[in-house]
Copies of this chain bind each other. A is one copy, B any other.
Amino acid sequence: MSILSGIIPPVLTPFHADGSLDLESLDTLVEHLVSGGVHGLFVLGSSGQVAYLTDEERDTVVQRVIAKADDRVPVVVGTADLTARRILAHARRAQAQGAAAIVVTAPLYALNNAAEIADHFRIIAAGVDIPLIAYDVPVRGPAKLGRDMLVQLGREGVIAGVKDSSGDDVAFRRLVDANRAAGSPLSISTGHEVMCDGMLLVGAEGCVPGLANVDPAGYVRLHDAAQRGDWEAARDEQDRINRLFEIAFVPQGRSGDAGGIGAFKAACAALGVIASGTMPAPIEALSGEEVAGVEAIVREVGLL
């Protein structure tokens, strides 16, 4: 089975009220996910609020999740930083801790073209011994990763997969098609919560939905239905999940890093999976009214 097959939640990072990591909550969250049947864990992603963590905190999170996962599922690790040599330092620490793969974005702050971005991935791949997954998340950086570049890097063995959070379904489908035509060197997953059914139908091997922190079992059922070719059951499960996803729209007028992740944390807290919905400074946790709105939806779909 390839590295991005199945449901691989981007694990939330819980915090104490004083801003320190809440590692006990991280343990219970990991247990919730693994016992929910997920196929892997992705730590230090956008949903894991990697941008707000120091290097020491990153290492602590990786170590804790790998220990708790205890070889039951693979753990892939995000490495967000500005450019290749800086990312490589994170990648090597992740490898040393037992990461199954690393997840790497295009350069940040830097303004590179396609050839330079391809070399960026090559530099990093040459410096580690674990698979590299390209993370296409243009909303957070200057560059959409091109289809031909990704397939070429797959052919070269530089990258083993693509986590697509580009929100561009035409590009996604064309990537799936080109990858197949090239002999499928890449494992392709979608990062969007609400279209896993459609994307699995058309060729995604896996999904990396932040909402799976709240309802891992639902996503696993969706994936199982897709695996057995029961696409209407997959769609019905997705439709149910999408009603739950409305929690992400309860917070209004919030930043991109505050609303959705804040709602996922609030829902996990309501379910007792983590202790609180605390957010890292300068982001504020949801208000009491927002939390109540989130809980109402969680209850409405039957999770609470």
Contacts and interface: CB of A to CB of B under 8 A. Distances in A.
A231 B201 contact: yes
A282 B194 CA distance: 34
Contacts of A105: 109
A111 to B, nearest CB: 3
Contacts of A80: 82, 109
Nearest to A254: B113
Most B C-beta atoms less than 10 A away, residue of A46, A111, A253: A111
Interface string A197-239: 1110110000000000000000000000000010110010011
A81 B86 CA distance: 11
A116 B282 contact: yes
A96 interface: no
Interface stretch (A22-30, A154-162, A164-172, A289-297): A164-172
A255 B116 contact: yes
* Chain A interface category by residue count: 35 or more
A257 B84 CA distance: 15
A112 B283 contact: yes
Contacts of A52: 82-83, 85, 110
A33 B199 CA distance: 29
A172 B169 CA distance: 10
B167 A170 contact: yes
Contacts of A130: none
Contact of A174 (B113, B194, B199, B253): B194
A1 interface: no
A256 B111 contact: yes
A251 to B, nearest CB: 11
Contacts of A108: 51, 82, 108-109
A37 interface: no
Interface stretch (A7-15, A136-144, A270-278): A136-144
B242 A177 contact: yes
Contacts of A283: 112, 116
A74 to B, nearest CB: 24
A197 B199 CA distance: 10
A195 interface: yes
Contact of A116 (B110, B235, B242, B258): B258
Interface of A: 46, 50-52, 54, 80-86, 89, 105, 107-113, 115-120, 122-123, 139-142, 167-170, 172-174, 177, 192-195, 197-199, 201-202, 229, 231-232, 235, 238-239, 242-243, 253-258, 281-283
Given A113-B258, A116-B257, A168-B168, 16 more contacts: A52-B83, A81-B82, A82-B108, A111-B139, A111-B140, A111-B255, A112-B256, A112-B258, A112-B283, A115-B282, A116-B283, A117-B282, A119-B281, A120-B282, A198-B199, A201-B201
5 contacts: A46-B109, A84-B282, A112-B256, A112-B283, A170-B192
